[in-house]
Amino acid sequence: MSAKIIDGKAFAAEVREKVAGHVSRLKEVHGITPGLAVVLVGDDPASEVYVRNKGKQTLEAGMNSYEHKLPEDTPEADLLALVKQLNADPAVHGILVQLPLPQHIDEEKVINAITPDKDVDGFHILNVGLLGTGQKAMVPCTPLGCLMMLRDHHGSLSGLNAVVVGRSNIVGKPMAQLLLRDSCTVTIAHSRTKDLADVCRRADILVAAVGRPQMIPGDWVKPGATVIDVGINRIPAPEKGEDKTRLVGDVEFDSAAQVAGAITPVPGGVGPMTIACLLANTVTACCRANNLPEPEGLTA
């Protein structure tokens, strides 16, 4: 293995430490405690674990955590009423409605009901537009985490060729916008891109966010490139026993690590950065709400 392993778990711990420092100063100097409200509808096990981790890390950073757990059959109108209530609460600086929502609820309607200044997921249509036009916005957590790791590894990203494989609203598109803002030359590719392997081989920075397990092998990677693997996929692991699975990314790690200059593992790469950046976005939202300088090193 020749690639440097980008340790997302360690980097996320550093981000959370920075967040805690900013929170401490907000409390001591301004008497303000950032607050994050997380709303969970239903009892999806994966979502419950995720929400529990968010609440734990929010409290560990010194912030206020407000959890709202609603039954699976909660009417859409009731959820919208809760969002309206949280929008009006000055103690809440960030609002996150855990996705996916039950089928009878319109996700876009709920996301766009959150006031954009408290939209710490960065999914509101206004934040999408602001990011796309290079203005100050709340930035989606996963792309923000990827950007932080890339800046840490490279310093300046200016002039580098970046390929983002994946065009989702949550990762692919905002990731491309962030790289463009840092003066990369950006290509958005996807599963239907012609000669996808050749497109990937031109990338100094290759971000894989297509949602297909081990789709990108090592011979698609430019020697020395930085590979950011956003994929989280479960595949059978018969070597561990019957019905066992393991987590893999969108990149075939073993072969890619022989070629790349740096690579994020799965698990332990991009994943831990998502919650860390959620905390960072909450502090940013709090500072903006109180007309205070934005937290250095925690924004795009």
Catalytic residue ranges = 54, 98, 121
Instruction: Identify which of 223, 220, 227, 228 has the alpha carbon closest to the alpha carbon of residue 197.
Output: 220
Q: Measure the CA angle with vertex 65, ends 62 and 68; round to 5°.
A: 175
Residue 218's identity, in one-letter code, is: G
User: What DSSP assignment string belongs to 4-45?
Assistant: EE--HHHHHHHHHHHHHHHHHHIIIII----EEEEEEES--H
Q: With contact defined as beta carbons under 8 Å apart, do 214 and 249 qualify?
A: yes
Instruction: Identify which of 89, 13, 87 has the alpha carbon closest to the alpha carbon of residue 97.
Output: 87
297: left (phi over 0), alpha (psi -120 to 50) or beta: left
d(CA 187, CA 20): 36
